[in-house]
Structure 1
């Protein structure tokens, strides 16, 4: 029989100790940090796995957790056990971030004498370049999104144009209300609410501005007629706010229709990565790109400045006096 996944579900004692500590920490994140529902759900899943593993080792209270317990649990989750697949390095790092936060919270709240996790470090992450597509492939995807008749193609084109023009996350765009859009031709901009509910204002390019205006004038009223009235900028065919999953599907269909290489792995983040990569290639300062993307640290943005092997070869061939015969 499978062991329960959640530490708080194992016994009354656990529910009053580790389980309550987890719920208290998640409530703290909700109030103090304003994390998104998706991030909180991921933290909840990770912490239930973690506390469940602690209980299997006989640890039932935050005060009883030692550094070795943390290391043993993280190692077990990272390597996997019979019937339970190993976590990827990125997933292990995310889980450990939640574990660090939980134990800091317990120490500050007096639930434990100290933080047993503070010296436990996440596994090394493979340093990969973000996937980006060329300007030409972006244009093919955008063209493919507007194929067809009726209000939906206009909406889809406006959605993808705005994603690429602003580098916004898909959740930020579907959460937009009409009042968040300023389509003044001289200073078009959009107000985005990012991680931690941090607000930023990002310029909107002329192509995206025209696409959004066409959608708002010629398409959105027809979609809104099916609903009960909502301030949401992007609507589905029932007149309600477009969901993140539906917006993701819009891009997937457009990418496949465009026939670009690697269409099956194009995602909303592909447009975000492409936005950053194309700006930096055009000479934009990395700190400006950081602000546009809403990154808390410039270190996150600097991954886009890595030089690809193809670029190295091109520059070498063009610059070295004896590179070519």
Structure 2
């Protein structure tokens, strides 16, 4: 069984994830890290010998204990714990389809519920703070124009950090109407419009850096290699720290990480009255439920929902049908 299990794990990563379900390279890496941690846990708890994989490792009680170990010993968040569980559930679904002898074992893993965590608030910057941040890079310097292009494009497009890192010159379409093509989770590609101001910055940047080949990586470091996540984080921290010194009240004490620019763009679109469905497509979310966190995080948006609802209320007393009551309850559940 050990050889068969090892073979199935190999097929899961080399064929099922990239080819059958079409997961992105980053998702596959995340799943791989989950297995590395599971094997590390097994070694620490003496559940298996180094290099030996047995079915015992995938029993429900072992997986639950592993998840607790992640939180207690590794100090991961509830969100990360649930991501690790999602990876193991994906493998369990795969095994349920490809094995019969241990079907009950993997079905039991699928029954493990994700852990509920406290409601998260979304960190984002005001329009004023974004304006100050974009004024920090010195556009007349070699590195400054690159940093300005990175910050502007991150905010303008609302793209994820990895999506920015993966951009090539050929993904830009700078003729009017200008757009960029980004490939996100699940290898899904979306076309995002960009403003003339950002087009001007990108044209200046690509001219100075002599980027013209469609296959060239758009943003690189001093060694002419693709920027890393930590490299992007450094650039954002450098300029946000500088802007905070000049106007601490606007920035507050929050750490400005790369995803904050994405959050900020979403919140500013919502505050401008843009429909959640469009914002969902703009951000590349698979479900509008994911996008709704922005509406729920802003008290002003909640107030607008209530005012819009109140403006449609007839002050006369009417009896509501059961269907109308259910519709109202559904609206409240998703918007309050």
Q: Per the shorter chain, which TM-score range?
A: 0.7 to 0.9
- In the alignment, does 2:98 pair up with 1:109? yes
Question: Against the structure 1 CA distance between its residues 86 and 148, is the aligned structure 2 distance closer, same or farther, given a 3 Å change threshold?
Answer: closer
Q: Is the 8 A contact 1:178 1:232 kept in 2?
A: yes
1:175 aligns with 166
Q: Is the 8 A contact 2:6 2:53 kept in 1?
A: no
Alignment partner of 1:121: what SS? coil
The correspondence for 1:44, drawn from 19, 32, 38, is 32
- In the alignment, does 2:127 pair up with 1:139? no
The correspondence for 1:61, drawn from 26, 47, 54, is 54
How many residues align structurally? 292
1:251 aligns with 236
- In the alignment, does 2:86 pair up with 1:93? no
Alpha-carbon distance, 1:19 to partner: 4.3
Alpha-carbon distance, 1:156 to partner: 1.1
Q: Is the 8 A contact 2:147 2:235 kept in 1?
A: yes
- What is the alpha-carbon distance in structure 1 between the residues aligned to residue 201 and residue 139 of structure 2? 15
Q: Is the 8 A contact 1:159 1:212 kept in 2?
A: no
1:239 aligns with 224
The correspondence for 1:207, drawn from 197, 207, 224, is 197
1:70 aligns with 63
Question: Against the structure 1 CA distance between its residues 229 and 30, is the aligned structure 2 distance closer, same or farther, given a 3 Å change threshold?
Answer: closer
- What is the alpha-carbon distance in structure 1 between the residues aligned to residue 58 and residue 160 of structure 2? 37
Alpha-carbon distance, 1:164 to partner: 0.7
Q: Is the 8 A contact 2:276 2:288 kept in 1?
A: yes
- What is the alpha-carbon distance in structure 2 between the residues aligned to residue 67 and residue 293 of structure 1? 35
> What is the Cα-based RMSD across aligned positions, in Å?
3.1
The correspondence for 1:30, drawn from 18, 25, 33, is 18
2:281 aligns with 291
Alpha-carbon distance, 1:54 to partner: 5.5
Greater CA drift, 19-28 or 123-132: 19-28
Alignment partner of 1:191: what SS? strand
Greater CA drift, 147-156 or 249-258: 147-156
Alpha-carbon distance, 1:70 to partner: 3.2
Alpha-carbon distance, 1:73 to partner: 3.5
- What is the alpha-carbon distance in structure 2 between the residues aligned to residue 236 and residue 135 of structure 1? 29
- What is the alpha-carbon distance in structure 1 between the residues aligned to residue 186 and residue 287 of structure 2? 14
TM-score by length of 2: 0.76
- What is the alpha-carbon distance in structure 1 between the residues aligned to residue 25 and residue 143 of structure 2? 28
Question: Against the structure 1 CA distance between its residues 121 and 214, is the aligned structure 2 distance closer, same or farther, given a 3 Å change threshold?
Answer: same
CA shift digits 1:105-155 (9 cap, x unpaired): 11111162242212111110221121000011011111102x264321111
Point out where structure 1 has 5 or more consecutive residues left out of the alignment. 1-12, 317-325
